[in-house]
């Protein structure tokens, strides 16, 4: 019975476009064990440390540069809501530069 409810809840949730986007993102990044590009650089370490404190630091190529800009902006608000200090302007610049350099194609 629980499984049926879970499947029904998942099906209902997937009727929303955002749920589809999140599912697609999760599926494309699930199981990725590849090291981050520029792994030993300050930008990569800052990205992994700040963004990885709440979730896995996703591969930059999983989103386009424009998508990363929107994602980082959205996460800034989520950080505030969660009581986590948002990125400083300098951190945001460094992280976005790193993500844009290593982003996936359009």
pTM over 0.85: no
Q: Where are the domains of the chain?
A: 1-30, 32-106
- Residues 13-38: tens digit of each pLDDT: 455 666 556 655 554 554 456 899 99
> If you average pLDDT over residues 70-88, what whole number do you get?
95
**Cβ pair 57, 48 in contact under 8 A:** yes
pLDDT digits (tens, 9 = 90+) for 42-55: 999 999 999 999 99
53 in Cβ contact with 95 (< 8 Å):
no
């Amino acid at each position: 019975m629980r499984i049926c409810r879970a499947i029904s809840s998942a099906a209902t949730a997937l009727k929303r476009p955002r749920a589809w986007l999140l599912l697609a993102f999760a599926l494309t990044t699930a199981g990725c064990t590849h090291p981050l590009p520029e792994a030993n650089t300050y930008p990569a370490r800052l990205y992994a440390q700040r963004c990885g404190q709440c979730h896995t630091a996703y591969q930059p190529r999983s989103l386009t540069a424009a998508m990363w800009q929107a994602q980082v902006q959205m996460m800034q608000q989520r950080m505030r809501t969660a009581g986590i200090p948002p990125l400083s302007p300098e951190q945001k610049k460094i992280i976005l530069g790193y993500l844009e350099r290593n982003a996936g194609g359009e």
